[in-house]
Amino acid sequence: VNLLLLEPGELQPDGRARLADGRATHLRTVLKVAPGHQLRAGVLDGPLGVATVESNEGDAVDLRCAFEPAAPPAPRVDLLLALPRPKVMRRLWAQLAALGVGRVVLTNAARVERHYFDTHVLTPACYRPLLVEGLQQARDTRLPRVTVHRQFRILVEDELDGLVARGVRLVAHPGAGPRPAEALAGGRAARVLLAIGPEGGWNDFELRLLHERGFGAVGIGARTLRSDTACVALLALVHDALRTCD
């Protein structure tokens, strides 16, 4: 683990925390911590800091934490994603959190199969631990917000403006459009909302509706990628382009 993440409720007002779950087991058996051992820690949606082991007797590990005054900034990219197959979606959660996504908006589309929505992969009990795993990997505390939408048109026409903060809107479509760096060049974009379609692509109606709602096309070349590969590739390119805008 690159970062030990604590829930806000686990922390005493004086910065102490007692762990007695899998994290404690990991600290004792893998990291073999002793009193005085220091490790990177963070509070979910809160600041990063350092945890010092005070004692590790019995099953519990007692920590005293010192945190930075403020939480790290939230990721500047939000994702509007046509729901992929459950197996692919399951693999994506930790990777999305690791790459940095403020909000994950999962949507139906013409080429999404309805039964994908019935999977337990869309329950917080399944995806929250995977998101936390991704944050620990990337040393971030900002948990992506997740919403699931079964009606594409209602989502895009009525709900999207309220869900995501104003910013540049991009829609990825195989082959078409400028590179993300070109689409964002010179704009000093504060935030980006990136839309990624289903395996078969968005259909014409969906593309038109997205364009009407301000989404500009981006492409990453001629190769058609699986949803999870496309998400990781495009998020890397958009984050990279945003870094050069600063």
d(CA 150, CA 92): 19
Site track for a copy of itself across 34-73, x = CB under 8 A: ----------------------------------------
d(CA 194, CA 100): 13
Per-residue burial over 69-87, b if 16 or more Cβ lie within 10 Å, else e, is eebbebbbbbbbbbbbbbe
User: Per CB under 8 A, does 110 bind a copy of itself?
Assistant: no
Terminal Cα-to-Cα distance of the chain (whole angstroms): 30
H-run or E-run covering 206: helix 204-212
Single residue of 13, 58, 162, 244 touching a copy of itself by CB under 8 A: 244
Stretch that binds a copy of itself, among 4-12, 146-154, 158-166, 224-232 (CB under 8 A): 224-232
User: Per CB under 8 A, does 226 bind a copy of itself?
Assistant: yes
From 153, 118, 238, 232, select the one nearest 187 (Cα to Cα). 238
User: Per CB under 8 A, does 137 bind a copy of itself?
Assistant: yes
Nearer to a copy of itself, 155 or 218 (CB): 218
From 70, 63, 71, select the one nearest 14 (Cα to Cα). 63
Q: Is there a contact between 16 and 52 (Cβ–Cβ < 8 Å)?
A: no
Nearer to a copy of itself, 110 or 232 (CB): 232
**DSSP conformation class of 168:** E
Nearer to a copy of itself, 107 or 136 (CB): 136
For 33, half-sphere exposure in the C-beta direction (CA atoms, 13 angstrom radius) is 24
- Residues in a beta bridge with 6: 43
Single residue of 22, 57, 222, 246 touching a copy of itself by CB under 8 A: 222
Single residue of 89, 98, 112, 207 touching a copy of itself by CB under 8 A: 98
Single residue of 117, 139, 156, 204 touching a copy of itself by CB under 8 A: 139
Residues lying near a copy of itself in the complex (CB under 8 A) are found at 2, 91, 94-95, 98-100, 137-140, 179-181, 220-226, 228-229, 232-237, 239-240, 243-244
